[in-house]
A and B are shown apart, each in its own frame.
Chain A
Amino acid sequence: MRNIALIDVNNFYVSCERVFNPKLLNKPIVVLSNNDGCAVARSDEVKALGVAMGAPWFKLKDLAKQHNILAYSSNYALYADMSNRVMSILKHYSPDQEVYSIDESFLDLTAFKSKDLVAYGQQMRQRINQWTGLPVCVGIGSTKTLSKLANHCAKKRPDFNGVCNLNSMAPETINQMFTEIDVGEVWGVGRKLVLKLNALGINTVLDLKRANPERLRQQFSVVMEKTIRELNGIVCIELEEITPPKQQIMSSRSFGYSVTDYNSLAQSITLYMSRAAEKLRRQQSYAGSVYIFIRTSPFKENERFYSNGRTISMPSPTDDTRKLVNVALWGLKQIYVPNLGYAKAGVMLGELVAAQGIQTDLFSTQKNTPKSDRLMAMLDSINKKMGKESIKLASEGFSRPWKMKQGNKSPCYTTNWDDNIQALDLEQ
Chain B
Amino acid sequence: MNNDIKTQSSRGGKRLNAGRKTGTGKFGEPTEVVRVPTSQKPIIVDFLAAYQHKQQLEEAIDISSLMLPALNHKTLNIPLFASKVPAGFPSPADDHVEKRLDPNEFLIDQADATFFVTIQGESMIDVGLMPGDKAVVDRSKMPSIGDIVLAVVDGDFTIKVLNRGKDGSPRLLPANASGKYQPIEIKENMTFEVWGVVTGSFRRFK
Chain A residues within CB distance 8 Å of chain B: 2, 21-23, 25, 85, 88-89, 92-95, 110-112, 115, 120, 130-133, 234-235, 413-414, 417, 420-428
Contacts and interface: CB of A to CB of B under 8 A. Distances in A.
Contact of A420 (B113, B134, B153, B174): B134
Majority SS at the chain B contact face: mixed
Contacts of B135: 423
Contacts of B73: 92
Nearest to B56: A111
Contact of B140 (A94, A131, A424): A131
Interface in B135-153: 135, 139-140, 150, 152-153
Contact of A95 (B61, B113, B117, B182): B61
B120 A93 contact: no
Given A420-B134, A421-B115, A421-B118, A132 B139 contact: yes
Contacts of A424: 120-121, 156-158
Given A22-B157, A112-B67, A130-B139, 6 more contacts: A2-B50, A85-B113, A131-B139, A234-B46, A421-B115, A423-B135
The 7 nearest A-B residue pairs measured at CB: A425-B121, A92-B69, A23-B155, A131-B113, A426-B158, A423-B159, A425-B123
A426 B70 CA distance: 37
Given A131-B140, A422-B118, A427 B54 contact: no
Nearest to A114: B63
A234 B43 contact: yes
26 contacts: A2-B50, A22-B152, A22-B195, A23-B155, A88-B112, A89-B112, A92-B69, A95-B61, A111-B58, A111-B61, A111-B63, A131-B113, A131-B139, A132-B112, A420-B116, A420-B134, A422-B117, A422-B118, A423-B118, A423-B135, A423-B157, A424-B156, A425-B120, A426-B123, A426-B156, A426-B160
Contact of B120 (A2, A88, A423): A423
Interface residues of B, number: 47
Contact of A111 (B46, B57, B116): B57
Contacts of A423: 117-120, 135, 150, 157-159
Q: Which of A23, A131, A414 has the most CB of B within 10 A?
A: A131
Contacts of A25: 155
Contacts of B159: 423
A112 B115 contact: no
Given A2-B50, A424-B121, A22 B193 contact: yes
Nearest to A419: B118
Interface in B34-66: 43, 46, 50, 54, 57-58, 61, 63, 66
